[in-house]
Chain A
């Protein structure tokens, strides 16, 4: 069928202001936070209602046009990269909080609601939405659900999938279904659990029921500086062995610390090879008792400096340095790749030693920032995109780091998803039978394979054009990559 009939089908539903086909308008949607890839879609629609999403998806199904649902475009795995000549369904205007129900501790939201907006809406009731990816000021719930986003608190609180109770979904042929409900408990297969993390392959979620938690009463934080990464890694093991369950445990290495210092003057201890941040959260009396125990544990780990913030401002300063680390790396390198891998926690030291060795072998600097509590590494591979072949060399190093994660029994992604970026590694993590079954499922749910075509599975469509440099929003300091 002709392109005109597809577009005229859309034009019958969407006014011109919400059906974009002009080249300059489409440019905005060419890439997400994995800026190395760019593709121009055929059109962008901006629905405001579920009925409009259904209409857009039906038009795609009728005309066999691939579509990609998109929120704020913060995917680091290229998950919301458009498909060549396909449709982008931009959900940012479906940003209503449909129902905030404090006594049931839930919020029903549209997919374009910003992650942090849920917490802000819940805050007057003493509640919050726990998953907090560091792009939470801009990323949307729809994207979080599609990619099962994480953050710094996953060991204790879980990922996005642990906080989604139910949803309304437009399947890739336009059929509307409801999965899950409003209770934390359910009977029968966990359909909504399967849907979270589908990476856009099962359709478009148009309404999400989220679980809210009481905001922890107290946070107690300690920062410890070490002369070696090994000591910091051992300190994490000591905390774990002591029976404490911190809300967050984060480590930054020397290069990441330099970057944070350059960017926000975090005033971390000078000369550290690694800084460990451990934070306990919860009920005041419980946390105070546990914090005494934590301090005793940290005292035995050989830190050359230990800091305990005395005020909330001091605590925030510690976190500002950590949260800025990714974008701060822009101060010390023109370009960088953010990697996302997981290793068993006890193998963190070994993984970092191997990354160091790979960095030396390739002659490419790698800064490390990671969620130590759950073994989630974020190596930042520094390169200069203006130099011929630099990106390819950086990517070759990234590939070797992925091999390390797989070999040590971990995963190729802890929270960014597979998207475009990790497709090639899937056969190393999963058997042919595993992948064949995932593909079967993909094909049965989406008979034409139009929902986010080319993602997740190896050997998808031809890769998009590559390009260097930070995302415009990142340059403006609005988003950061993590």
Chain B
């Protein structure tokens, strides 16, 4: 059991968004404030871990031919649970994430981890994989939300800190509204992936 290696893979070398390029839709769509990013990240973390555990436990029972359909049903079940829980206890986040919570079902990260990891490894290893990959995903979402929120509306941590209002770092009228619009999602993610490629290239060159 090497938790450290898996954590490093989830966070950096095999980061689901920046390196494996999975789950783009939600990454770009909802990262407009810290609360959205955290809410989405943690939801995916929970669903990914639970579905990894179940799929790994059932991996010898599920027939090979209908495995994708079986995975989708397991994932959809957990997504529905999380969706209902969010609507019951965290109404604000459920409202601002909107249709993207049910859409976690078709988030490629979860299906990809089920297919490439949970269906081949034991329950414990799959649970750890779910947690580390989930943390990697949450980290990217948080970084993107912080960048977009800071440059776009001049606040930090709206919806989480300071009673929901966030800490204002500069007046709102100086913010680049563009970064909150869809354009900002594409640009920020593009730059982050470029940064990742630069860092990986440098590391390889240094060796």
Q: A and B bound?
A: no
Which A residues are closer than 8 A to B by beta carbons? none
Which B residues are closer than 8 A to A by beta carbons? none
